[in-house]
Chain A
Amino acid sequence: MLKKRLIPLMLLDNGRLIKTVKFAASRDVGDPVQSAKVYSDQNADELMILNVSRDDRTITKTLELLRELSKHCFMPLTVGGGIISIEDVRILIRSGADKVLVNTAAYRNLDLLKIIVSEFGSQALIIGIDCTKEFDKWRCLSNCGSVIEKIELENHLRQVQEAGAGELLIQSVDRDGVMCGLDLDLLRNVARCAKIPVIGAGGVGNYHDLLDGYRIKGIDAISVASLFHFSDSNPHRAKAMLQNHSLNFKLV
């Protein structure tokens, strides 16, 4: 049986691990290599590393970190932030990334998505979509949440799936770092439109929030940052609680 996944999310700014609130007000929360080692020791299901620095939109710093991380972490690594070309993808995948996450470029260059898929396969491409609620409707944001895109969420979902995306990371910007629960309506809506695996993110503040998310049909994975950064919580403890509610996680 395919298991649910709980994925620690590491946001990077200038080589440091940070955590944002609603994509702003960032706090330094430590050294990414040390954190990754801890997640690795805790047998995390996967790790997601996103460069969210607004001054440095290149992959250079991420690449340095990836080379270091992949020596210690024998689990799936997803890397994103500032990917604009197939050359970026090639070097990241050769250097230890299993999947790349593309967000802003997915609004500008659908051909890039198709090229990534034809070279590395659908399973190597995750599309990140940052959403904010505006009068009962979700809007897509790009460039680390700073630009409102015109395209409707449903249309964007259709386009990236047609281009061959393998997974979706759906992040509620309104709930980022707020720890008040996932945007369940958003995730339900996306899971209904999507035929590929959906990872929910943004707002997890306790284990019950995770339970609510996993109970949505089509939500296979949830990504968590604040809960692990700012509490004594960790993937082990979260899964121990969730297993009591008949959710299945990997057997090590």
Chain B
Amino acid sequence: MNYFDEKMDLADVVVVDIGISNIASVLNSLVELGYAPLVVGDPSGIENARRVVLPGNGSFRIASERLNKTGWVTALRQFAESRKPLLGICLGMHLLATSGEEDGVSEGLGLIPGVSRRLFVGDLRLPHVGWNTVDQLKSHFVLDGIKNGRDFYFSHSFALEPIDKNLIICSTDYGNTFASVVGRQNVVGVQFHPEKSQKNGLKLLSQFMKWDGAA
């Protein structure tokens, strides 16, 4: 299937491509669930999308520069205002923050007020790589059907610290406790990789695809 030539209004979900992540895995998992994703590298027209996934790996600074240079910042902020569902994965979750402290301070989308900072892990090793427990502190539509305390796949050194702790939906321990799922209105961010977390990860993505964006 060619995910690049479809029309925006026919797609179930738009996957943002700023050239820094494993988009194939996100696409394959959405296709596995029976949806038609569309990869978009240019922000124009994104307001017609039904829902948006912002995946990402790597450096906050480089991602922030690319988002700013290509007009994604404005487009994603406008999309978020439309109350349609937006999911940030890993670095895509960090980018929802106001700013990120990786290679100096750079600007995020400001959809979840807070900062992306290096994990404080004491004498544990970084990056935090592997399967770790996700403790559900609150209920959320995207977690429906997933048992509390299941493991998801993490691969990161930074985490989003929301100013308002009420936005933390799940937490995970690695040296310290950090936010593994955050949510504010129609925006949700996950620190782990649902597209790599087998059964429970696919369940989360399938819930996101059914979500109407209501908090």
Contact = CB atoms under 8 A, between A and B. Distances in A.
Contacts of B155: 76, 98-99, 123
Given A1-B173, A252-B150, A118 B130 contact: no
Given A98-B22, A251-B133, A76 B153 contact: yes
**Contact-residue bracket for chain A:** 35 or more
Contact of A252 (B25, B130, B198): B198
A42 to B, nearest CB: 10
Interface stretch (B8-16, B57-65, B80-88): B57-65
B24 A70 contact: yes
A221 to B, nearest CB: 7
A252 B199 contact: yes
Contacts of B195: 74
Range class of the B interface residue count: 35 or more
A123 B21 CA distance: 12
Given A75-B196, A94-B22, A95-B24, A252 B151 contact: yes
Contacts of A45: 130-131
Contacts of A95: 24
B28 interface: yes
Contacts, number: 124
Interface string A90-101: 000111111100
Contacts of B29: 74
Interface of B: 20-25, 28-29, 31-32, 57-59, 62, 91, 124-133, 149-151, 153, 155-157, 173-174, 193, 195-202
12 contacts: A2-B174, A3-B130, A5-B130, A70-B28, A74-B25, A76-B155, A96-B28, A98-B155, A118-B59, A120-B57, A121-B57, A250-B131
Interface of A: 1-5, 40, 43, 45, 67, 70-71, 74-77, 93-99, 118-124, 166-167, 194-197, 218, 220-221, 249-252
